[in-house]
Amino acid sequence: MSFVYLLTGSNLGNREGNLRKAKSMIEARIGNILALSAVYETEPWGFTEETNAFFNQAMKVSTLLSPIELLDELLNIERELGRERKMHKYEPREIDIDILFYDDQLIETKRLIIPHPKMHLRRFTLAILQEIEPDFIHPALKKDISTLLKECGDESWVRRCTYERGSESEREGR
């Protein structure tokens, strides 16, 4: 049994619903969700054109899948939820699922790099992951998530969603 940390994100369509569907599919096809963050609304990171804010959520999942099997299954889930990968790296998407960590392994192949190579540069990733695992030690950087967040130079905004006025789908009349 291995433990993986994933970050889901959506900035197209019913963002909240997209995260909910991804969570359900991950639980059915990847493994048990052991920890789940709140949903956060975050500033788009790395985009050159203006786009919608993202909804993001982090989770810790137990799995029997190998790293490559995990990647393939997550790509299948993204495709089934409407993700079309194009040539541009940063583009609006119904769903994005990033593998942040796979146990404490360091993996670098043509298809997969773990830990996620840019996670320590992204405030939204660190802030959300800190909610569920603040003391996890990044296996390459040898620092815990809380320390990496304190040291992160990214100043983009991250807001915890409260849904006091109803869920996103209710606000959009769905």
Q: Tokens for 56?
A: 């993001």
The yes-or-no answer on residue 98 being catalytic is yes
For residues 28 and 150, the answer to whether their CB atoms sit within 8 Å is no
**Catalytic site residue 122?**
no
Of the candidates 15, 96, 122, 123, the residue annotated as catalytic is 96
**Does the annotation mark 83 as catalytic?**
yes
Q: Six-digit token pair at 27?
A: 């639980």
State the catalytic residue, choosing from 29, 72, 83, 123.
83
For 101-162, give the secondary structure using H, E and C. Answer: EECCCCEECCCCEECCCCHHHCHHHHHHHHHHCCCCECCCCCCEHHHHHHHCCCCCCEEECC
Residue 91 corresponds to which tokens in the numbers above? 């583009």
Catalytic residue among 98, 104, 135, 165: 98
Catalytic residue among 93, 135, 154, 165: 93
Confirm whether 103 is a catalytic residue: no
Active site amino acids = 83, 93, 96, 98
